[in-house]
Amino acid sequence: MVHRLFIALELPDSIRETLAGIGPPMRRVRWLLPDQMHLTLAFLGDVDAEAQAALETKLAEIRVASFVIPITGIGTFGHSHPKVIWAGVGHGHPHLFALHKKVLDAALAAGLPTELRAFHPHITIARADGASRASLKPFLKKHADTEFGMARMDHFTLFSSQLLSGGARYRIENRWALAD
C-alpha cells in the first residue's frame, strides 16, 4: 500500500475556525475548510508501507520541546497571480525550525527524499487560480497585521492525503508528542 504523506503541526480548532471565517467570497479563490489547515513541516509524496514504517520509527526518536507560535498576518505565494494565500507564524520560533530540521533528518534516515527549498513556515488558508494580486490587495491589506491567536504546539503529526475534486482529504497516520 502506498500513501501520499506529509508531516505537519495541527492547529487548535479555534484558530482554524477563525482563519476559515476571514475569507470573503472572491472569484478564482477557493478557501480551505478548517480541517484542511495545518503547518506543513515536510511533504514526502508517495511512500510505500515499508518506507513509512522506517519513517515512523525515525520520527518517534525526535526530541524537541513544545512551543507556542503566534498566528499573525496574511500573505501570498506567487507574484502577479498568487497561487496560495497563507497566514503567518511570526518570525520563526527556534523550536519550530529545530523540529523542521529533525523531521527532514528522520525522512533522510528512512531513505526518503526531501524538498531542498528554504522552509517558509505558514498555514495555507486558500488556493487561488488566476486571481490577480490587485483583486486580493484589499483583503491582504486589511489582514496584513491581524493577530489570529497563539497556538501551542505539543505534538507533530504524520498525515496521508487523498486528492479529491473539492480539495485534499487528510487522515492522521500517527502522532508524536513534543517534550514538555
pLDDT 10s digits, 41-75: 999 999 999 999 999 999 999 999 999 999 999 99
Q: At the top level of CATH, which class does the domain 2-173 belong to?
A: alpha beta
Q: Which residues of 10-105 form beta strands (DSSP E)?
A: 29-31, 39-48, 67-72, 74-77, 84-87
pLDDT for 130 beyond 90: no
Q: What is the pTM of this model?
A: 0.93
Q: How many CB atoms lie within 10 A of CB 10?
A: 20
Q: Which residues are catalytic?
A: 38, 122
User: What pLDDT score does 49 carry?
Assistant: 96
User: Of all residues in the chain, what percent carry a pLDDT higher than 90?
Assistant: 81
Residue 156 has pLDDT above 80, yes or no: yes
Grid cell in block for residue 26: 472572491
Task: Indicate whether 167 pLDDT > 80.
Answer: no
**Domain chopping of the chain, boundaries:** 2-173
